[in-house]
Amino acid sequence: MKFVKMHALGNDFIIVNNFKKKFFLNKNIIKKLSHRYLGIGFDQLLIVESPTLNNVDFHYRIFNSDGNEVNNCGNGIRCLAQYLKIKKLIFKKNICVSTNNRLLYIEILKDNRICVDMGVPLFHPKDIPFITNKIKKNYKIFFNNKFINFNVVSLGNPHCVIQVKDISKTPVSFIGSFIEKHNSFPEKINVGFMEYVNPNNIKLRVFERGVGETNACGTGACAAVSVGIYKNILSSKVEVNLTGGILDVKWKGGNTHLFMIGNANYIYDGKIKL
């Protein structure tokens, strides 16, 4: 099987061209491939397929390193766009890609930068999904003898966002692994830890479901910014500082679409015997 290894801010992927439906990669195979020492090593596997809808250029599927399929990945979609350009599968700046639950509109910019229309952030518990008795602007969860305040939002995949005072001192994996599997989130959840710097700047670390903490999370950055704007503490243009680098997120609030801008980088071409 041929593949391409790519990364976006240190969040790494392999991309497989499966236009001819040649490969069926089950959960066990994906887990083996993702192993950092015994396989290729990656946070997510992206599979490119022929479009299934009119006016769509490509369909793509996303699998976490634990083998479970998810519906969206912000860093992954930027890598996919760069892959399509590098492999000369597209010859235009603007493309449309379908996932399992939405359409994504992408603009290929200069200097390896990609702009993605991430759609409208959804805050209703049923869109996460999040089980709660009452819809609130802020929620609480009891952990380690104290309550943790959080918000929920979906951008094609579910996110819990927690605002913290000092991100460098936050036990991301300790808290994240608990919340990820909490029974309030029947499909598990990504957990973002946001440190407010000023209205145009935040710091962010993300514990991704089925993966653990990653160097960057595109949808996590969009989730954190949308929550900050929802809480009226952030402006409509925000620079998100992640462990692996910087993403720019723009959102005017309400039912308007949110845009994410960041780079995507080719690492190498490879092949592996399944």
Residues 240, 206 share a domain: yes
φ, ψ dihedrals at 162, nearest 5° = -115, 125
* Pick from 242, 265, 246, 205: nearest CA to 4: 265
DSSP character for 169?
Answer: G
CA distance 55 to 10: 32
Q: DSSP for 143-160?
A: ETTEEEEEEEEESSSEEE
pLDDT for position 200? 98
> Out of 18-22, 32-36, 64-68, 136-140, which region has the weakest mean confidence (pLDDT)?
18-22
Residue 168 DSSP code? G
pLDDT of 89 above 90: yes
Instruction: Indicate whether 22 pLDDT > 90.
Output: no
For the question of residue 73 being annotated catalytic, the response is: yes
115 is catalytic: no
Domain co-membership, 68 together with 159: no
pLDDT digits (tens, 9 = 90+) for 143-175: 999 999 999 999 999 999 999 999 999 999 999
- Mean pLDDT of all residues in 2-30: 94
Q: Are residue 69 and residue 97 in the same domain, yes or no?
A: yes
Same domain, 212 and 244: yes
For the whole model, what pTM was predicted? Answer: 0.92
Q: How confident is the model at residue 20 (pLDDT cuts 50, 70, 90)?
A: confident
pLDDT at 23: 85
Higher pLDDT among residues 22 and 176, named by residue = 176
- Amino acid 26 reads N
Cβ proximity of 79 and 8 under 8 Å: yes
Catalytic residue among 73, 79, 160, 222: 73
- Clarify whether residues 160 and 222 are in a common domain: yes
Q: How far apart are CA 231 and CA 238, in angstroms?
A: 14
Of 79, 160, 217, 222, which one is the catalytic site residue? 217
| Domain match, 129 and 29 both | no
Regarding whether 81 and 162 lie in a shared domain, the answer is no
Mean pLDDT in residue range 9-34: 94
Contacts of 140 (CB under 8 A, 6+ apart): 147, 148, 149, 150
How confident is the model at residue 21, as a pLDDT? Answer: 84
Q: Is the pLDDT of residue 117 over 90?
A: yes
Q: What residue type is assigned to position 166 of the chain?
A: D
Q: For residues 128 and 160, what is the distance between their CA atoms, to the nearest angstrom?
A: 9
Query: In which band, very low, low, confident or very high, does the pLDDT at 262 lie, cut at 50, 70 and 90?
Result: very high
Reduce the DSSP state of residue 128 to 3 states and report it.
coil
Mark whether 99 and 144 lie in a shared domain: no
Structure tokens at 190: 């990504």
Q: Which domain holds residue 38?
A: 2-119+263-271
Indicate the average pLDDT of the chain: 95
Mean pLDDT of 129-134: 94
220 plus 248 within the same structural domain: yes
Closest CA to 180 of 209, 223, 219: 209
Whether residue 107 is found in the same domain as residue 183 = no
Q: Is the pLDDT of residue 101 over 90?
A: no
Instruction: Report the residue count for the chain.
Output: 274
The CATH number of whichever domain residue 81 belongs to comes to: 3.10.310.10
CB 26 within 8 A of CB 67: yes
Query: What is the model's pLDDT at position 245?
Result: 96
What is the arithmetic mean of pLDDT over 208-213? 94
Count: domains in the chain? 2
- As a whole number, mean pLDDT of residues 80-95 equals 96
Looking at residue 164, what is its pLDDT? 97
